[in-house]
């Protein structure tokens, strides 16, 4: 059996750590990197470095951002009276692609999951409460995933904000229970947003 070099072995190990990539796929990717023009391979390396060095969480809503605030928080045409609460930046992206919502977001960076040891303190709930107490918000739209944990998280948040003068709504149930927002098609998401119900 031919020996692979140390560098190739290391690259295969790194690819194999990616989600959904098994050993065989990792080997294929590594050989692909060796085969393509050098500039293309280094472009991949640069893209990984750039994203880790320049992208962080928006100071206001915890969406991904390259400056202090994300593009949505910086957009003066968006309403600051509504906040749509999602679990992850990719859920925000899915809702944006539906193209009907013109308010702000708040990304929780997870959901309350006692079985996985994730409590409310590990999410951005305190920062959300501070935003709501800040005063300009009139409606909170709960857009956590329609799973047991997503529903539990929405309920927890609406309980702690019950004394605030804001309307709390939940995405309409066009989305099948247990389905994940990021994989739901944009027409269904648009309907879920426009048909949202008081919680």
Q: Which stretches of the chain bind Zn ion, using CB under 5 A?
A: 58, 60-61, 63, 70, 73
Residue number with CB closer to Zn ion (15 or 105)? 105
Nearer to Zn ion, 64 or 160 (CB): 64
Q: Which is nearer to Zn ion, 78 or 186 (CB)?
A: 78
Q: Distance (Å, rounded) from C-alpha 40 to C-alpha 61?
A: 34
Stretch (H or E) spanning 72: helix 71-74
Cβ nearer to Zn ion, comparing 28 with 56? 56
Q: Are 174 and 115 in contact (CB under 8 A)?
A: no
Q: Least distance in Å: CB of 65 to Zn ion?
A: 6
Q: Which residue has the tokens 């899915």?
A: 94
Q: Are 119 and 146 in contact (CB under 8 A)?
A: no
Reduce the DSSP state of residue 125 to 3 states and report it: helix
Minimum CB separation from Zn ion for residue 62, in Å? Answer: 7
Q: How many other β-carbons are positioned within 10 Å of the β-carbon of residue 141?
A: 24
We find the least distance from the C-beta atom of residue 185 to Zn ion, in angstroms, to be 25
Shortest Cβ 193–Zn ion spacing (Å) = 19
| Closest approach of Zn ion to the CB of residue 29, in Å | 33
Cβ-contact 85, 95 below 8 angstroms: no
Q: Is the Cβ–Cβ distance between 104 and 84 less than 8 Å?
A: yes
Residue 30 or 123: which CB sits closer to Zn ion? 123
d(CA 179, CA 146): 7
């Amino acid at each position: 059996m031919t020996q692979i070099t140390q560098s190739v072995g290391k690259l295969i190990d790194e690819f194999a750590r990616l989600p959904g990539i098994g050993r065989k796929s990792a080997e294929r990717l590594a050989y692909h990197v060796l085969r393509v023009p050098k500039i293309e391979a280094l472009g991949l390396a640069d893209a990984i470095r750039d994203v880790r060095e320049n992208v962080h969480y928006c100071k206001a809503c915890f969406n991904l951002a390259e400056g202090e605030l994300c593009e949505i928080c910086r957009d003066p045409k968006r309403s600051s009276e509504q906040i749509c609460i999602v679990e992850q930046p990719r859920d925000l992206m899915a809702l944006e692609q539906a193209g009907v919502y013109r308010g702000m977001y708040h990304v929780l960076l997870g959901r309350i999951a006692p079985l996985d040891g994730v409590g409310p303190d590990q999410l951005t709930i305190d920062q959300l409460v501070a935003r709501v107490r800040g005063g300009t918000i009139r409606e909170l739209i709960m857009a956590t995933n329609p799973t047991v944990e997503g529903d539990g998280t929405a309920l927890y948040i609406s309980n702690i904000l019950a004394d605030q003068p804001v309307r709390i709504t939940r995405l309409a149930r066009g989305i099948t229970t247990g389905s994940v927002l990021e994989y739901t098609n944009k027409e269904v998401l648009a309907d879920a947003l426009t048909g949202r119900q008081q919680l």
